[in-house]
Amino acid sequence: MTTILAAAASGMVHNQMVLDTVGDNLANVQSAAFKRTRIVAEGRPDATRTPEMSRLGVSESTLDPIFEVGSAQMTGDELHLMLNDDSFFRVRDFDGGVAYTRLGKLSADYLGQITAFRGRELDPPIVTEPGMTAFAVDANGVLTGRTQDGTIETLGQIGLVRFMNPAGLDSLGDGLYRESVNSGAITEGFPGDGAFATVTPGALEASNVDMAREFTEMILAQRAYQASVRAFSVGDSMLATATDLTR
């Protein structure tokens, strides 16, 4: 494939991936604790050229989640809590592995156990007593419940973790992430202990997707895609002309 066709084709592929990413971000604008994703791309070096010469086309470098803290969505549910820094909750996924999430949507199941999103256990788990009701979490992540005789008892404190490079976490979907070699060292602690900010009870973190920014990215990617298609068409015409001249 000639240089102009290869460069134009790589531009089409890249901008199609940008459009797919923007579409996914916009589809999750109402998803609590969702983190937008961006594509970081760079030129692809031509192996036949020296480093001082120009590059050929573009290529995807990384697909990075952006962990900016979203705004607070007040729910009034005493088992909902929002993280106010770059930390994560640790949960036990259904396959038994440890996963991390920023969605503090806790609930009590039919057994009275406190679970995270879609019934996943906290890690380590917080054990309740039979018949307990009126569970609540305060700004320091301390979980309490009311016993059958009306006494309020402390059940435990929800721990938090922080990664040196959260963008290096592997995404599992459903707002879950798993540690990787790129996520760096882990710091553990509790809300309000000095190393971690307090949490906001009765609230969930909103998506950090900015619709204006995403639509701007979409328009730019569409225009760039159209330019790449045009360049490919011109290159194809030039190649056809050159072929005809050699006959």
Give the tens place of pLDDT for each residue, 114-148. Answer: 899 888 999 888 888 888 888 999 999 999 999 98
Q: Residue 56's pLDDT band (boundaries 50, 70, 90)?
A: low
Q: How high is the pLDDT of residue 230?
A: 87
Please choose, from the candidates 19, 31, 22, the residue with its C-alpha nearest in 3D space to the C-alpha of residue 208: 31
Q: Residue 59's pLDDT band (boundaries 50, 70, 90)?
A: low
Residue for token pair 């790449």: 228
Q: Residue 104's pLDDT band (boundaries 50, 70, 90)?
A: very high
Residue for token pair 């701007």: 216
Q: What is the chain's length?
A: 247
- What is the CB-side half-sphere exposure of residue 63 using CA atoms within 13 A? 13
Using the 8-state DSSP alphabet, how is residue 117 labeled? G
CA distance 26 to 17: 14
Question: Is 102:68 a contact under the CB 8 Å cutoff?
Answer: no
Mean of the per-residue pLDDT values for the chain? Answer: 86
Residue for token pair 């806790």: 106
Please choose, from the candidates 220, 209, 229, the residue with its C-alpha nearest in 3D space to the C-alpha of residue 24: 209
Tell me the β-bridge partners of 171.
177
3-class secondary structure per residue, 121-171: EECCCCCCCCCCEEEEECCCCEEEEECCCCCEEEEEECCEEEECCHHHCEE
Q: Is the pLDDT of residue 107 over 80?
A: yes
Residue 17 vs residues 30, 41, 245: alpha-carbon distances, Å = 22, 11, 37
H/E stretch holding 243: helix 211-246
Please choose, from the candidates 10, 60, 57, 56, the residue with its C-alpha nearest in 3D space to the C-alpha of residue 38: 60
CA distance 242 to 173: 50
Tell me what the mean pLDDT of segment 189-213 comes to. Answer: 94
pLDDT over 90 percentage in the chain: 55
Cis peptide before 65 (omega within 30 of 0): no
Residue 41 vs residues 6, 23, 56: alpha-carbon distances, Å = 16, 18, 13
Considering the entire predicted model, what is its pTM? Answer: 0.81
Q: Is the pLDDT of residue 42 over 70?
A: no
Q: Where are the domains of the chain?
A: 3-67+209-246, 72-205
Q: Is the pLDDT of residue 233 over 90?
A: no
Please choose, from the candidates 116, 108, 138, 113, the residue with its C-alpha nearest in 3D space to the C-alpha of residue 127: 113
Phi, psi of 124 (to 5 degrees): -75, 155
Q: How high is the pLDDT of residue 51?
A: 43
C-alpha distance across the termini of the chain, in Å: 20
β 203-205/72-74 pair status: antiparallel
Q: Is the pLDDT of residue 4 over 80?
A: no
